[in-house]
Structure 1
Amino acid sequence: PVYLLPLVEVVPGKATDPAIVQKTIRILKNLGMKPLQVRKEIDAHIADRLLEAVWRESLWLVNDGIATTEEIDDAIRYGFGLRWAQMGLFETYRIAGGEAGMTHFLAQFGPALAWPWTRLMDVPELTDALVGRIATQSDAQSGRYSIRELEQIRDNNLVTIMRGLKSRNWGAGALLNAHDAALAAPNTEEIDLSKPIRTQTRAVPLNWTDYNGHMNETRYLQVFSEATDRFMEIIGCDAAYIATGGSYFTAETHIRHLNEASAGMRIYVETCCLSGEGRKMHIFNTLYRNDGERLATGEHLLIHVDLATRRSSPPSPAIARKLSMIATHHARLPRPEGVGRYVGQPRP
């Protein structure tokens, strides 16, 4: 589906202005897509031609009674489909060549091209019998689901795969990370410091729920951690600063679970800076449902650290100034309910 898969094949004609092509590519990248410029205009472009090759071979396997539709799908989704999803075709085969690389792979497996392993150029006739066989087998395989249900299953699985790749910064996941990085943190001059800072806005991902049907407790820590990272970026402790050898380490965290969050729920986090003096940063995160209902709170104490010595150290003057400015403004706000609570403390 175009609303999930990032690939867009850009196919210029011979008379297409190159500037238009580059502008199109820039727009697609800004949308978080993966534009792929096709070097020569060709019927079906790239992805559909590859898909057509697998489709034709699959028709022969069914036609010749070698495999059913379900068996063919199992061969894909439990085998090479997983490899292709995260590494493609040529990179997968490069690994097959071992340390000697692709040249060795081609020398080793090139002769197989002459073997009768495919009927790619000889397609079966779609007779009524073959069509009926495929339809019957497909009904047996997936007929218990409606098309809408299958689409939902597919979409959920695609999201899960891409989120898994995101954690590995690979393939489509690397593209998602790059897009997130492009959404730069706002400058402190652009933030309304008369109220807590919104540091996260998202929907609860499908794979964040557990056997109880609500967001798993580890995900509360994750969303608070991401909110803290965003706050760090706002004060200037971003990737560039961390590369110079300074960062903040979390020394203490206390999370309260106040209400449930379910898959797909829109949530956001607001961060209040309780103090920011010397090497310490004390912040309070509050997780809300989109309608303003509180779901959880997280109180965090962080220490600035020299990454070379792994010991506490003063932050840069620029970070110290921004942190102090935010803390001064937030000190005028009502103290968040729950600050300083301990585990098991009765509610007021």
Structure 2
Amino acid sequence: MTSLAPISRAACIGGGVIGGGWVARFLLAGIDVKVFDPHPEAERIVAEVLANAERAYGLLTSVPLPPRGRLTFCASVGEAVADAEWIQESVPERLDLKRRVLAEIDAAAPADALIGSSTSGLLPSDLQEGLGHPERLFVAHPYNPVYLLPLAEIVGGKATSAATIARAKDALDAIGMKGVVIAREIEAFVGDRLLEALWREALWLIKDDICDVETLDDVIRYSFGLRWAQMGLFQTYRIAGGEAGMRHFLAQFGPCLQWPWTKLTDVVDLDEALVEKIGAQSDAQAKGLSIRQLERIRDENLVGILQALKAGQGGEGWGAGKLLAEFEQRLRESAGHADAVDIHAPLPLVETRVSPAWIDYNGHMTEHRYLQVFGDTTDALLRLIGADLAYVEGGHSYYTVETHLRHLDEAHLGEALRATCQILSVDEKRIHIFHRLFAGAGNREVATAEQMLLHVDTRAGRATPAPEIILARLRPIATAHAQLDAPEGAGRAVGQKRSMAAV
């Protein structure tokens, strides 16, 4: 498997919270990354961000990632960018510093390299001043954590070429990000404009003792924050307008904008007293959790939201979840066809981890998630024999008509899972299969599932023989698996006592 993106080599100048997030996003897409950051602890900081990113990706997707790119720390900007195809600048938000660093990048980078800036508000035209090749500089403004939140605002300056914008968008899309092109440059772009307005009002509410920071966060996370995560602002308000939609909403609530509710045009005085007030309330809200602990909690919550959104719309996904589903499909395609799988042993078809969203009130993986993993294993078998999404879209598929699932042990949060498939028998309409699920470093067996699949004509709504092109891929596996020992538990009935040999 190779990297997903149209690029294979990146350079990150600056390895802090944002720069380290870019490093992780590139590396986990299979892209080699060179880093320059003069901070004496840059390697430790990047390593910690990368560790969190790998943990989050292990929970996020069951689709194998490409081999991780190579990470190299360099002694200078010139060394880091010398052979890069994409250079991401993430130095502190000072125009003079960014101009100096970007000029150094521009002088040392290959002529066709893309140069993105992580600035959260500076105009790209101002950053282009004095560069020899300003046409390749653009803003790629991400959101923290870069390795999980997929958005990057792409903003071109006056000298940025259309080809640069198109290349940047393609490269971001390929690594699971949503490259949103902003039509005109404006200070703080779109996302930070919205955040700044909310932040300004929030500071006044704290200063005026309307609420404390935890109450304010509760108002967001228990209400409109959940709506925004999947529909944004305008589509949420369209629904609020009822059957008459957005026009009715604007007519009904538009006059409220004239009322003197907010202080959006007034700047709060962040004096020492207010800073201490907010700091003390924030300390109390954190309840002793470290920043790294809060980051891991944040990542687990984001993973759960993304996975829930991926399951929306009948499995097609919605919002960022749809983007995740599309990214996983590219991962599968980039892995190539699985003809190289050893068919003389049970097929290793799925590797994943126990997600935070999969944990029940007992603290281990809940029942229906076992069926989900076994369903993913069946899907992997069908892709292996050619009954993939294109085949289904052509009007034929295999339907699961019987399942017998056994729970043998507990699987816990974050544990690695590995599922295998053994074919018990095959005919022109049916596939009889037996899955086994193993967990943890010791590969203990935690569940099995026996299934009968039936080939159907989905348009006619009836069973039909599978075509020879499918059977030709299926029969060699079935023949090889016929030489294997019958798996313990195959053919069991619900409640049947286990034999002494199996105890």
Shared fold (TM-score, shorter chain, > 0.5): yes
Whole-angstrom CA distance in 2 between matches of 1:188 and 1:328: 18
Q: Please point out which of 258, 269, 277 is paired with 1:114.
A: 258
What is the Cα deviation at residue 256 of structure 1?
3.0
Q: Given the superposition, is the C-alpha separation of residues 151 and 312 from structure 1 closer, same or farther in structure 2, using an over 3 Å criterion? A: same
Whole-angstrom CA distance in 1 between matches of 2:287 and 2:353: 31
Stretch deviating more after TM superposition (3-12 or 242-251): 242-251
Q: Please point out which of 329, 332, 349 is paired with 1:199.
A: 349
1:71 aligns to what? 215
Indicate yes or no: 2:453 matched with 1:302: yes
What is the Cα deviation at residue 290 of structure 1?
5.7
1:172 aligns to what? 320
Q: Which amino acid aligns with 1:260?
A: E
8 Å CA contact retained: 1:257, 1:297: yes
What is the Cα deviation at residue 265 of structure 1?
1.0
| TM-score of the two chains, using structure 1 as the length reference | 0.91
State the percentage of identical aligned residues.
50
Alignment of 1:288-299 (within 5 A): 288-289=438-439, 291=441, 292-299=443-450
Q: Which amino acid aligns with 1:82?
A: L
2:364 aligns to what? 214
Q: Please point out which of 330, 353, 356 is paired with 1:182.
A: 330
8 Å CA contact retained: 2:364, 2:411: yes
What is the Cα deviation at residue 36 of structure 1?
1.5
Q: Which amino acid aligns with 1:178?
A: E
Q: Given the superposition, is the C-alpha separation of residues 188 and 317 from structure 1 closer, same or farther in structure 2, using an over 3 Å criterion? A: farther
Q: Given the superposition, is the C-alpha separation of residues 237 and 284 from structure 1 closer, same or farther in structure 2, using an over 3 Å criterion? A: same
Q: Please point out which of 31, 39, 43 is paired with 2:175.
A: 31
Counterpart secondary structure, 1:249: strand
1:234 aligns to what? 384
8 Å CA contact retained: 2:339, 2:384: no
1:271 aligns to what? 421
8 Å CA contact retained: 1:32, 1:176: yes
Q: Which amino acid aligns with 2:416?
A: R
- The alignment's C-alpha RMSD in Å is 2.2
Counterpart secondary structure, 1:2: coil
8 Å CA contact retained: 2:344, 2:477: no
Q: Please point out which of 185, 188, 191 is paired with 1:41.
A: 185
Whole-angstrom CA distance in 1 between matches of 2:279 and 2:498: 63
Indicate yes or no: 2:162 matched with 1:18: yes
Task: Flag structure 1 segments of 5+ consecutive residues without an equivalent.
Answer: none
Q: Please point out which of 303, 312, 324 is paired with 2:475.
A: 324
8 Å CA contact retained: 1:257, 1:296: yes
Stretch deviating more after TM superposition (92-101 or 162-171): 92-101
Q: Given the superposition, is the C-alpha separation of residues 19 and 337 from structure 1 closer, same or farther in structure 2, using an over 3 Å criterion? A: farther
Aligned residues: 348
Whole-angstrom CA distance in 1 between matches of 2:499 and 2:402: 21
2:198 aligns to what? 54
Task: Flag structure 2 segments of 5+ consecutive residues without an equivalent.
Answer: 1-144
Q: Given the superposition, is the C-alpha separation of residues 47 and 286 from structure 1 closer, same or farther in structure 2, using an over 3 Å criterion? A: same
8 Å CA contact retained: 2:203, 2:268: yes
Counterpart secondary structure, 2:156: coil
Indicate yes or no: 2:152 matched with 1:8: yes
Whole-angstrom CA distance in 2 between matches of 1:144 and 1:245: 56
1:251 aligns to what? 401
2:271 aligns to what? 127
What is the Cα deviation at residue 334 of structure 1?
4.2
Q: Which amino acid aligns with 1:171?
A: G
Counterpart secondary structure, 2:311: helix
4+ runs of 1 displaced by more than 4 Å?
none
**What CA deviation, in whole Å up to 9, does each residue of 1:261-311 have, x standing for no partner?**
211111121222222212110112122236444332222111122334543
Stretch deviating more after TM superposition (65-74 or 95-104): 95-104
